[in-house]
Structure 1
Amino acid sequence: MQCSATEVSAVKNNLTELLQASYDKILSLFEERDLLRTISKHMENNLTELRAQLTAMTEKSDWPSKCYISLYTNCLMMKTNLIFSISFFYTEDRCCPAGWKMFGRTCYLLSVDSGSWDKGRQDCRDRGADLVVIDSREEQVFLSDLAPVDTWSWIGLTDKEVEGTWKWIDGSSLTTSYWDANQPDNGGGDPNCGEEDCAHIQTGKKITKNWNDLSCDASLRWICEKMA
């Protein structure tokens, strides 16, 4: 089977976007790591200087002032520890469970089984995760290449509560979307389709237009997401 020039071009463009997004994400993580390391170093130096100053002040102060200085010192140490904790979070080695794929600091799993949207979400929860919430273009590009071509997978987006008001499962409103042309259409008025209140992503289509709404009872695979 031969692909048309248009299909080859589309695949090439999708791969280029995926590679660029991956490169940008990696570069961003390295920049964040270096920034946090610099902040931590500055905080450590400042704390050393402040300790010396506070020690000198304590020797010349009465008890109330000493109490205040002690509280102030503890506050500074708490802030410093927070910076160190954040820095450690970004720099320590992390990994995903077997079968999961890492992107950024997040692990993703494309299910082997198929089922309803609710079944997919329950499976994700049983794994300590949840259906994926797509909150960046980079993540959208990554997910668009996660599964084989023409795979339909549930994502954590629904308008079950209010028809036409799409929300992510974490409660956040949908701001940036990647709906296919003329979607979502809630079945287009076809009684055989019923209500289409759950969203899925379809691989092999244009990265910026590969979402569709479907009946939540339809049997699809699903994508789980959790922090590494």
Structure 2
Amino acid sequence: MERNQLTSSNTLTKEWEQLQISGNNLTAERDQLQTSNNTLTKERDQLQTSNNTLIKERDQLQTSSNNLTEERDQLQTSSNNMTDERDQLQTSNNTLIKERDQLQTSNITLTKERDQLQTSNITLTKERDQLQTSYNTLIKEKDQLQTSYNTLTKERDQLQTSYNTLIKERDQLQKETEHLKQSLVEKGWKKLGSSCYYVSTEYKSWEESRQDCRNRGAHLVVINSQEKQTLVNWLCGRNNYVWIGLTDSVTEGTWKWVDDTPLTTKYWNSGEPNGGGAENCVYFYSLSSDTGEWWDYECSYKYRWICEK
């Protein structure tokens, strides 16, 4: 009986030692479970208390096998519970490991995003500083433009006033011009459109004719369009020769009007000009055409002439 009790006691001792080892293993696993540290600490304290109780119970088991057997059963139940708790903790640990790995991955991603945001922040800071500098420059330019605008507005108002004054003066001059042209008409001039024309009845050389026009405040007629050619033809009349204000007396072969404009529109007779250096002035003649034609001739020859102003 005593041997059986000793065997039982040894068995319980071994079981107790195994439980002690299991408690130590659980303590080690508890330490590894970083995220369940508080819970494992409480369980460790409970296990420590339970272990102390078991030590006391072991001493009591030496005198009371039946109680030890019952307590062994209780300890077995407790061990099973702890095993279940261990398994649960293991499962929880595995879950936490997965979450840790996910968090690690997320942390790496967030670190990359942080670095990218840091780079972006540096770039945006530079762009902000550049925009601030540009803004300050634009503010200065705006102020300068505002000042310029105010100045231009004043100048515009002054020019508007000057323009209004000139309009009045122009209208007054137009009235005076019309009055003068009317006076000229009364003195033998013909008013056609915006110009007046004087057709001489005398005969003079080209230079004398030009001087006569100058004396009248005018110049020998300039023909620079088809309408003007037709008008001069009408003023000249058929079978009449009249000097017009075209000459190459300054530069041979370079025909210019008396108002210094170059010759562009031309109504030369066929084969004209053909006089060379001796024929430097131009007369107008109409024989049968509706517009008349030009000839170059010696400037000393005496013809009638037409003045224009």
Please give the range of the TM-score, normalised by the shorter of the 2 chains.
0.5 to 0.7
Q: Distance in 1 between matches of 2:177 and 2:281?
A: 36
Equivalences for residues 27-176 of structure 1 within 5 A? 69-83=153-167, 94=178, 95-96=181-182, 97=184, 98-176=187-265
TM-aligned CA deviation for residue 204 of structure 1: 3.4
TM-aligned CA deviation for residue 103 of structure 1: 1.3
Distance 1:65 1:163, change over 3 A: closer
Whether the 8 Å contact between 1:152 and 1:202 is mirrored in structure 2 is yes
TM-aligned CA deviation for residue 219 of structure 1: 0.8
TM-aligned CA deviation for residue 105 of structure 1: 1.0
Unaligned 5+ runs, structure 1: 1-63, 188-193
Q: Distance in 1 between matches of 2:177 and 2:216?
A: 21
Residue equivalent to 2:308:
225
Q: Distance in 2 between matches of 1:145 and 1:209?
A: 9
Structure holding more helix per residue = 2
User: CA-to-partner distance for each residue in 1:172-225, whole Å, 9 max, x for gaps?
Assistant: 1000011111111116xxxxxx71100011133424451111100111011111
Identity %: 39
Greater CA drift, 170-179 or 134-143: 134-143
TM-aligned CA deviation for residue 137 of structure 1: 1.6
Whether the 8 Å contact between 2:244 and 2:305 is mirrored in structure 1 is yes
Whether the 8 Å contact between 1:145 and 1:203 is mirrored in structure 2 is no
Whether the 8 Å contact between 1:179 and 1:208 is mirrored in structure 2 is no
Whether the 8 Å contact between 2:281 and 2:298 is mirrored in structure 1 is yes
Q: Distance in 2 between matches of 1:65 and 1:184?
A: 59
TM-score by length of 2: 0.46
Q: Distance in 2 between matches of 1:89 and 1:138?
A: 27
Q: Distance in 1 between matches of 2:247 and 2:176?
A: 35
Whether the 8 Å contact between 2:230 and 2:292 is mirrored in structure 1 is no
Structure scoring higher RCO (CA < 8 A, sep ≥ 6) equals: 1
Q: Distance in 2 between matches of 1:65 and 1:179?
A: 56
* RMSD of aligned alpha carbons: 2.9
**Counterpart residue identity of residue 159, structure 2:** C
Residue equivalent to 1:15:
none
TM-aligned CA deviation for residue 79 of structure 1: 2.9
Whether the 8 Å contact between 1:181 and 1:209 is mirrored in structure 2 is no
Whether the 8 Å contact between 2:279 and 2:296 is mirrored in structure 1 is yes
Match of residue 177, structure 1, among 252, 266, 274: 266
Structure holding more strand per residue = 1
Equivalent pairs, count: 158
Residue equivalent to 2:298:
215
User: CA-to-partner distance for each residue in 1:6-54, whole Å, 9 max, x for gaps?
Assistant: xxxxxxxxxxxxxxxxxxxxxxxxxxxxxxxxxxxxxxxxxxxxxxxxx
Q: Distance in 2 between matches of 1:79 and 1:153?
A: 42
TM-score by length of 1: 0.60
Residue equivalent to 1:31:
none
